[in-house]
Amino acid sequence: MDQKTKSFLKENWFRISILSLIILLIGGSFYWYGIRPAKIKSNCAWVEEHLDAIPAQPASSNWPGCLKSTTPKTWEEFNKKYDCHDAIPAQPAKDSKIPVFSNEYYLSCLHEHGL
């Protein structure tokens, strides 16, 4: 630092400290009363759900009666009656978020997190 900057800091250290304190208080109150409640409400509005892995299933069309017919309506009726389906690939386990439908859960979640 040069001499001019040092002398400015020595003369105005109290003003700079007060200004820094005011900026910290405004920023902290904005976080505490604005950002924090918004994050809590967002997290309480959704519930994490774990879906287990689904193993692969082979096609059940290995007997002659499960051949596709030319009429889709007939094929749909046949599928319902004989449970014919194409091969289903395996699906990995995954976590997802679903919306909360219970007002009691939402309110208790807000209370647990300090709102």
Tell whether 70 is covered by a domain: yes
What region does 83 belong to: left with phi over 0, alpha with psi -120 to 50, or beta?
left
CA angle 102, 106, 112 (to 5 degrees): 140
pTM over 0.75: no
For residue 70, name the pLDDT band (cuts at 50, 70, 90): very low
Amino acid, single-letter form, for residue 91? Q
pLDDT at 30 over 50: yes
Report the candidate in 106, 102, 103 with the shortest Cα–Cα distance to residue 44: 106
Beta carbons within 10 angstroms of residue 44's beta carbon = 19
Q: Tell me the average pLDDT across 5-13.
A: 88
Say whether both 63 and 36 belong to one domain. no
What is the extent of the structural domain holding 66?
Answer: 59-86
| 3-class DSSP state of 46 | strand
- Tell me how many domains the chain contains: 2
| 3-class DSSP state of 96 | strand
